Amino acid sequence: MSENRLMLTDRIWNESIAPLLSLRVARFKIEFLADKRWRIYGQEAALRGRLGFNLKRVCCPYPNFRQRACDDCVLCGSCLYLTLFAPVPKPPEVTADGRLKTGPASVRPFVIASDGADGRSELAPGETGNAYFTLFGPGIQYASLFLEAAAAALSSFPLTVTDLNPMRPLGTEAETADNQIAWLLHDWVRSDVAPDTTVAGAADDFGKDLLQLEFATPVRLFSNNRQTRHSVSLALIVKVLIRRLRDLKRRYDDNCKMGRTGKHFYHTAESVRVADDNLWYSRRKRYSHRQHQEVYLNGLKGEIRFQGPFHPFLPLLRAGEIVHIGKGISCGNGKMRVQNREGLSYFSVSSALPQI
């Protein structure tokens, strides 16, 4: 491992990335069996809608909860349904020097993902699938209520729920209490980036390594559907990830440190070039009962490879696998994977990560 590589990795980690990973995260896996042939891909939006219905049914005190508009309810300021499923933006605050400070974005305290047997998008009768729920803030506090609603939502499909298990970062089972369900995002990232000192040590420069990212569900990196296809760079992905993590921290973390991303940080990201771009524009839609119209969940899918000094950003990309990126996340968009296939070498920063 070259000294320049280690210095660059440590600098970007300590100044820019580590402060963002103090967020507490709980992850759960619900296993189910398909009662009949069922296409799992694209069902996250429907699952989210049924999850919201079950939460509102339990949390709303009014018998006619289906017809009631939350915006007109006198209890909306303390409603657990809105807290867990549809948080509203906090009002702006006036600072001591008279400036108007906008409140945190109305980011939801959960992420939904799913997969079938061997990663397939369709299940045959009797095959096993998994639904994954990543929770933040009040999602962790009321995890039992949230997961009960999630299991009921899954059961409304032609599925039989068979098991529910909390997920733990690798290597923590023997070190933590059995009743712990949440860890810092930092702990998940440390375990997810597997060390490969043999490969890393053999390369004295960044140019010999390749990084492959897969967008497993549509990733919408551009607002207002301005383009159906656009050049994607690692710098753009990093920028979106930084914004996503800062939104989560402002809303659900008391630690106000957001990391510094100056000219040097983005200059390093911009020096990573695209080696191979196999992304394509995916179109899909869902019906929104709240808006009474179809909502489009378009975005980029496929794989893209990068070559260059991507190594300092690996913890950030691993965090993106957990929190997802882009728009439409709560409807299943933004699922990203950092691929580790034969022929691709990865420099691991896990052994060099300082404790937060």
Domains in the chain: boundaries: 3-24+185-352, 27-167
Q: What is the pLDDT of residue 340?
A: 52
**Same-fold call for 3-24+185-352 versus 27-167:** yes
Instruction: Enter the CATH code of domain 3-24+185-352.
Output: 3.30.70.1900
CA distances (Å), 85 to each of 55, 138, 155, 246, 325, in order? 8, 10, 19, 20, 18
- Reported as a single tens digit per residue, the pLDDT across 144-172 is 999 999 999 999 999 999 999 999 887 77
Q: What is the pLDDT of residue 64?
A: 85
Q: What is the pLDDT of residue 40?
A: 87
- Please state, in angstroms and rounded to a whole number, the distance separating the CA atoms of residues 33 and 31: 7
Dihedral sign, CA of 261, 267, 270, 273?
negative
- Please state, in angstroms and rounded to a whole number, the distance separating the CA atoms of residues 5 and 2: 5
- Sheet strands (E) in the chain: 24-34, 38-39, 93-94, 100-101, 110-115, 122-123, 128-135, 159-167, 182-184, 210-219, 273-282, 285-288, 293-296, 299-307, 336-339
For residue 114, list its beta bridge partners: 131
CATH architecture type of domain 27-167: 2-Layer Sandwich (3.30)
pLDDT at 203 over 80: no
- Reported as a single tens digit per residue, the pLDDT across 171-181 is 776 555 567 89
Q: What is the pLDDT of residue 132?
A: 94
pLDDT at 88 over 60: yes
- Can you tell me the mean pLDDT for 200-204? 38
Contact 169, 25 (CB under 8 A): no
Q: What is the pLDDT of residue 345?
A: 38
Backbone region of residue 311 per phi and psi (left: phi > 0; alpha: psi in -120 to 50; beta: other values): alpha
- Please state, in angstroms and rounded to a whole number, the distance separating the CA atoms of residues 152 and 139: 17
